[in-house]
Structure 1
Amino acid sequence: MTSPVRDHGRSATSPTSPRRTRVRAPELVGRRWVGTGGADLSLADLRGRIVLLDFWTSCCVNCQHVLDELRELEHEFADVLVVVGVHSPKFAHEGTVEAVDAAVLRWDVRHPVLDDPQLVTWQAYAARAWPTLTVIDPEGYVVASMSGEGHAHGLGVLLRELVAEHEAKGTLRRGDQPYVAPPAPDSAFALPTAILALPLSAGGGYLVSDTAHHQLVVLDDDLVTERARIGTGERGLVDGGPEQARLSEPVGLTLLPPDVAARVGWDVAVADSTNHAVRGLRLADLSLVTLAGTGRQLRRREGGGPALEQDLSTPLDTAWFDDQLVIAMAGVHQLWALDPAPAGPAGAIDATGGVVRVLAGTTAEGLRDGAAEQAWFAQTGALETSADGSRLWVLDAETSALRWLERSGDAPADRVVKDVDDDRMANVLPVAGAGYEVGSVVGTGLFEFGVRDGEAAQALLQHPLGMALLPDGSVVVADTYNGALRRYDPLGGDAGEVTTLASGLAEPTALAVELDDDGRAATFVVVESAASRLTRLQVPAAASKLAGEAQRVKRPPTPLAPGPVALRVAFTPPTGQKLDHRWGDPTRLVVSSSPEGLLSAGAGDAEGLSRDLVIDPSALGPGATGVLHVSVQAAACDGDPMTGEVPEFAACHLYQQDWGIPVVLDETGPSELALDLRGA
């Protein structure tokens, strides 16, 4: 292990810590500023204030979590802290002006944002991951850098220390924020994300997730006339009728089969993303009830149990499959399942008996097929069940992949019960993912994307977020960052074919298929999220084929020497916390590579913050780039759990991050790779 990182809260001249080199913060350089009223900002303008740089990109679910975590800190330290977002794009589309502006609105970013499409400031601060947080003290020196999410508590401790230190030195300047809110969009919707055709029994028309307005909207077939709005428009987790209920960035919508809806008492499942909850909508009275989630974000690996007692993590969609509600749990890169409670007397909704459990995925981010309990997912954003119910289609945004989940041939007929005493949970808790298999038809990994039609194995998408099924069994993908509708035909060629049905759309995130009298697809209703509109398109008589090139993330590769490489992750708990060793090592590393043969030793999942790797030079050609995938977790608790010296209301905190580090082999390169989960 490398030498420990010193407590960030101590100044370079503190008598209680050795002197260390002070690093002057590099200037903030980018294309333009957003949220400043057109003014440019410099570090000189912010001297005397504490500056927190948040390196983020709009596609990253962990970045979205950090934005939520920072809101309380921004409020508490409003007169001394300036948060500056540095938008550093992963996907090509994210670097466009329009995409950045839409992202700032979508995620309700209320601080200045530096638009950094060429990663100039990203590289100046040696950022390696989304998100990365860097703290600059009032004198303009970098005092802390940390990757990933879960740092809110530690940041609060550090900020209080910096305020006290610099107030005593006379270097702290209080004042107003430089943020200027951009104009609100002039449209009925604010970045809608999902659409659902309603049955004739409910009056027909469509249900739309009006995400940035925190509402659901019932529309007539003309796509303009509003019959109802569900939710007050204020963020919150409140059940009740359409004028009392509250949501927070609702996304995916699923209509239950009629017999299931009659059994459970609600009709539509709503993925209430930043409430970390699944809600049920009853169409008869448009009332909402919480089915799963507590409003808190899941902060541990294990999960499962009574649905209303279990934390969730950014559910983006749901689907009824294999007699269960499958949840796309994007925040932990897994699929979960909800077994809902049956309706009470006279059809009353009783969500208290529902149970949730892990269905597939290890929480490692990436693309790995096989047995569901060993599969990797990457920010799953859309689910659709095939017409015969045998296959669940899965759309992974971060790997730009179209995948599937099916029962395997040796699937158990009944779900497996493990150590269950509560009668309401009997026969519903399985071994995670038992009896399911995962496969992929389009997509190869976290850092390969683009726009290319043809044979499915060679086809490319770019951060797709929605899909729908056609009557012939093919899948239409809302290829969000390519602004296109793409069709996967499983019968095309030997292994399926991808073609393009429409292009030039403004970040399509969902679509509904309208049929003609003969049951054939006639029109699409497309949610163009970035334009905050719904568009009706004719299904083309013939699809086109695009022959674009593969694209990769812009980040410069890290040179490493072939052969033995020492991987070291620096982590020092914030002041007042210690690693909790009561039940073993509270840290964990998961390491893999692309291509898989790049690592001849050191891959896998094990405890600890260090790993000895061996890089195989034959896996990459001259100048070729590979990727090391590193996922880390560390759990620290308030006080000292080992001695029992803990404060009242003590809590434990999970720090985690996934890195995908492009590497190039260089005989003269370093033989150590140092990463900071929370470092100086």
Structure 2
Amino acid sequence: MTNQEFRVRAPQLQGRGWLNTAGRDLSLADLRGRIVLLDFWTFCCINCLHVIDELRPLEEEFGDKLVVIGVHSPKFEHERDPEALKAAIERYDVPHAVLDDPELLTWQQYAARAWPTLAVVDPEGYLVASMSGEGHAEGLRRLIGELIERHTAKGTLSTDGVLPERTKREDTELRFPGKIALLANGNFLVSDSAHHSVVELAPDGETVLRRIGDGTRGADDGPNPRFSEPQGVCVLPEEIAKTVGYDVVIADTVNHKLRALDWETNTTTTLAGTGEIWRGAPGDPVEIPDDPREARLSSPWDVAWFEGQVVVAMAGTHQLWSFDPVTNHLAVYAGTTVESLKDGPKEQAWFAQPSGLAADASKLWIADSESSALRWIENGEVHTAVGKGLFDFGAMDGKADEALFQHPLGVAVLPDGSIAVCDTYNNAIRRYDPVTDEVSTLATDVLEPSGAVVVDGVLVVVESAAHRVTRPVPPGATQELTQTRHRTKRPPVELSPGPIKVEIVFEPPSGQKLDDRYGPSTRLEISANPSGLVVDGEGVTTELHRQIVLAKDEDEAEPTEDGDGVLQVIAHAASCDVEGPNPACHLSRQDWGIPIRLVPGAPSELVLMLRGVSA
């Protein structure tokens, strides 16, 4: 990783402009003498949000010796909007400068192929490390410490010059509220996410009657609680609340916890979660201890009462979990941790960042945000009403098999049994009718709706980017939607149809060796979307090289601008320190979703670098 024999000059930073710098532009030349950490992210991506939180302690620890720059490389069309990006920087409390790169210019220069990707540039302007995925904080800490030591000795570390300040933020009564629930007294309970609190609103949806949380990030229980970007709120049935001694379950998202709220005393307790995030490979089983408070959660985003328990949209593991307040039992309810869209028995189904839940008498409805899908569970089976997968999205009304959403975050059941969808990145409220199997549009120009509830037949919506609760749908109203189709835009890699050699290059960092004490030290998983793109060679093996066979759908004529599909490659390598009385173990993992275009005569080999992080 830090081998000085092969030094590559870091490419210059290109994009549309800079945000969160109080109006100042940056360049690598401006930052010479400091260590620069580039974080390639997109604000829809839960893994990217995890990385932002992982980097906060590093930014504090290393001060002005380290400069973190977020390079925003959008997946969804909405994320290309500079105003939406500006709002996301504030919503997620991004503490560093952000380069707006809507055309993926810097992304391509740094050969990024997955969200998130991290790249480290040393004080002399050379690229010394890159890695994708989350969970690299400790390795980065050691690497940055080693770079500081080396370049201090060389005299090339310098903190001269003034770094840009964060852009000052506005404030409003609510700031990026997330979810909403109806209280027994007719008032609303709303998660005021950017204020790290929950609030009780009067029936007008405006008047704040009570605020729980002091507005600062924290995880304190008791009568003066603190939260960290809470989202879902679930009011328990009255008889259950009397039994368990609390009234509300809160998805404390960035704390990775479920919290209980006693409404009379304003006291909170932790129901589940240690505060540490669960991490594992797609498909890895989640083991949950008997005491839910000893379990690791991952960004619980919404909570809903269904089948006599609280169902949790566990966005970070691409699953649904369940919590029984009476028995204090936490379990996986649906999903396997694989991020994709696949129906079937709930234990085998695949989800993609589920973020909104609503239940009727027999069905649990799910806003599956990264697949831009509306899904439901009934009798233990997962079904998809609207949605085509991770990379297809848009704004299309009509029959459900042709309709499109764009990263929906909320759902609500309407009085006639149809489903209102907070179509967040289309700034719209959409309606799915299970009887006619059609989608229509109820309201447009609703700024990033993220949650909704029905009161007296009227839909009440959290208009998150407008920092308010509104009633945007007049009774009986429908609106015209500007119909568009999109696919995620990343430059495709050209490969030849037929046999392809996939090779993952991995060398344990200096001072480490492959660790095969508990079985094979490496793992390679290959899949594709559409599934027919790989006709031979899918699945999991323990070698970091494999031959696969690619084939093009003969029903399609020429390759599209976006390519013929996406090759999903996930590689793992376990290593351990060679020396020391208690050698540390390390898991290097990268997950590439690579758009490919099949072109006769193109290369028949795909080589990817799996990099470990070490001092």
TM-score (norm 2): 0.94
Q: 2:335 aligns with which of 342, 361, 376?
A: 361
Q: What CA distance in whole angstroms lies between the structure 2 residues aligned with 1:358 and 1:582?
A: 30
Q: What CA distance in whole angstroms lies between the structure 1 residues aligned with 2:253 and 2:381?
A: 26
Cα deviation, residue 629, structure 1: 4.2
| Paired position in structure 2 for 1:73 | 58
Q: 2:27 aligns with which of 39, 42, 45?
A: 42
Question: Helix, strand or coil for the counterpart of 1:661?
Answer: strand
Matches within 5 A, 1:523-672: 523-546=458-481, 548-574=483-509, 578-618=513-553, 621-624=557-560, 625-630=563-568, 632=570, 634=572, 636=574, 639-640=577-578, 647-648=581-582, 652-672=585-605
| Paired position in structure 2 for 1:675 | 608
Q: 1:208 aligns with which of 190, 200, 222?
A: 190
| Paired position in structure 2 for 1:346 | none
1:249 aligns with 2:229: yes
Query: Any conservation in 2 of the 1:79–1:176 contact (CA below 8 Å)?
Result: no
Q: What CA distance in whole angstroms lies between the structure 2 residues aligned with 1:175 and 1:134?
A: 22
Q: What CA distance in whole angstroms lies between the structure 2 residues aligned with 1:618 and 1:227?
A: 59
Q: 1:337 aligns with which of 292, 305, 322?
A: 322
Deviates further, 262-271 or 137-146? 262-271
> Amino acid of the residue matched to residue 86 of structure 2?
D
| Paired position in structure 2 for 1:382 | 356
| Paired position in structure 2 for 1:410 | none
> Amino acid of the residue matched to residue 2 of structure 2?
G
| Paired position in structure 2 for 1:438 | 382
Matches within 5 A, 1:196-595: 196-200=181-185, 204-241=186-223, 244-300=224-280, 301=284, 302-305=286-289, 306-341=291-326, 354-386=328-360, 388=361, 390-407=362-379, 436-492=380-436, 496-515=437-456, 521=457, 523-546=458-481, 548-574=483-509, 578-595=513-530
Cα deviation, residue 565, structure 1: 1.4
| Paired position in structure 1 for 2:4 | 11
Query: Any conservation in 1 of the 2:366–2:411 contact (CA below 8 Å)?
Result: no
Q: What CA distance in whole angstroms lies between the structure 1 residues aligned with 2:178 and 2:592?
A: 28
> CA-to-partner distance for each residue in 1:99-147, whole Å, 9 max, x for gaps?
1111111111111111111111111111111101011111111111111
Query: Any conservation in 1 of the 2:509–2:612 contact (CA below 8 Å)?
Result: no
Query: Any conservation in 2 of the 1:304–1:355 contact (CA below 8 Å)?
Result: no
Q: What CA distance in whole angstroms lies between the structure 2 residues aligned with 1:447 and 1:604?
A: 21
Q: 1:163 aligns with which of 137, 148, 152?
A: 148
Question: Helix, strand or coil for the counterpart of 1:101?
Answer: helix
Cα deviation, residue 634, structure 1: 3.0
Cα deviation, residue 304, structure 1: 1.6
Deviates further, 293-302 or 500-509? 293-302
CA RMSD of aligned residues (A): 2.0
Cα deviation, residue 590, structure 1: 3.3
> CA-to-partner distance for each residue in 1:438-485, whole Å, 9 max, x for gaps?
110100110000000000111000000011111111110000000000
> Amino acid of the residue matched to residue 596 of structure 2?
V
Q: What CA distance in whole angstroms lies between the structure 2 residues aligned with 1:258 and 1:575?
A: 60
Question: Helix, strand or coil for the counterpart of 1:260?
Answer: helix
Query: Any conservation in 1 of the 2:567–2:596 contact (CA below 8 Å)?
Result: no
| Paired position in structure 2 for 1:416 | none
> Amino acid of the residue matched to residue 450 of structure 2?
T
Q: What CA distance in whole angstroms lies between the structure 2 residues aligned with 1:653 and 1:54?
A: 21
| Paired position in structure 2 for 1:411 | none
Q: 1:86 aligns with which of 71, 78, 85?
A: 71
Cα deviation, residue 175, structure 1: 4.5
1:284–1:40 Cα change, 3 Å: same
Q: What CA distance in whole angstroms lies between the structure 1 residues aligned with 2:585 and 2:331?
A: 23
Cα deviation, residue 539, structure 1: 2.9
> CA-to-partner distance for each residue in 1:506-528, whole Å, 9 max, x for gaps?
1111122221xxxxx2x332212
Query: Any conservation in 2 of the 1:634–1:656 contact (CA below 8 Å)?
Result: yes
Q: What CA distance in whole angstroms lies between the structure 1 residues aligned with 2:584 and 2:326?
A: 32
1:633–1:663 Cα change, 3 Å: closer
Q: What CA distance in whole angstroms lies between the structure 2 residues aligned with 1:542 and 1:210?
A: 29
Q: What CA distance in whole angstroms lies between the structure 1 residues aligned with 2:534 and 2:244?
A: 49
Query: Any conservation in 1 of the 2:588–2:612 contact (CA below 8 Å)?
Result: no
Question: Helix, strand or coil for the counterpart of 2:347?
Answer: helix
Cα deviation, residue 238, structure 1: 1.4
Question: Helix, strand or coil for the counterpart of 1:278?
Answer: strand
Query: Any conservation in 1 of the 2:15–2:105 contact (CA below 8 Å)?
Result: yes
Cα deviation, residue 400, structure 1: 0.1
Aligned length, in residue pairs = 605
1:148–1:571 Cα change, 3 Å: farther
Cα deviation, residue 567, structure 1: 2.2
Q: What CA distance in whole angstroms lies between the structure 1 residues aligned with 2:545 and 2:256?
A: 32
Question: Helix, strand or coil for the counterpart of 1:512?
Answer: strand
Q: What CA distance in whole angstroms lies between the structure 1 residues aligned with 2:447 and 2:56?
A: 29
Q: What CA distance in whole angstroms lies between the structure 2 residues aligned with 1:526 and 1:214?
A: 20
Query: Any conservation in 1 of the 2:446–2:472 contact (CA below 8 Å)?
Result: no
> Amino acid of the residue matched to residue 442 of structure 2?
L
1:592–1:177 Cα change, 3 Å: farther
Query: Any conservation in 2 of the 1:359–1:372 contact (CA below 8 Å)?
Result: yes
Taking every aligned residue pair, what percent have the same amino acid on both sides?
52
> CA-to-partner distance for each residue in 1:566-611, whole Å, 9 max, x for gaps?
2233444555555442221244433222222111112224444333
> Amino acid of the residue matched to residue 453 of structure 1?
D
Q: What CA distance in whole angstroms lies between the structure 2 residues aligned with 1:652 and 1:232?
A: 40
Query: Any conservation in 2 of the 1:150–1:656 contact (CA below 8 Å)?
Result: no
Runs of 5+ unmatched residues, structure 2: none
> CA-to-partner distance for each residue in 1:68-117, whole Å, 9 max, x for gaps?
11111111211211111101110000011111111111111111111111
Q: What CA distance in whole angstroms lies between the structure 2 residues aligned with 1:596 and 1:65?
A: 29
Q: What CA distance in whole angstroms lies between the structure 2 residues aligned with 1:578 and 1:261?
A: 54
| Paired position in structure 2 for 1:30 | 15
Q: What CA distance in whole angstroms lies between the structure 2 residues aligned with 1:61 and 1:320?
A: 24
Q: What CA distance in whole angstroms lies between the structure 2 residues aligned with 1:462 and 1:187?
A: 27
Q: What CA distance in whole angstroms lies between the structure 1 residues aligned with 2:595 and 2:171?
A: 41
Question: Helix, strand or coil for the counterpart of 1:660?
Answer: strand
1:290–1:572 Cα change, 3 Å: farther
> CA-to-partner distance for each residue in 1:40-75, whole Å, 9 max, x for gaps?
111110111111110000000000111111111111
Q: What CA distance in whole angstroms lies between the structure 1 residues aligned with 2:333 and 2:543?
A: 27
Q: What CA distance in whole angstroms lies between the structure 2 residues aligned with 1:590 and 1:65?
A: 23
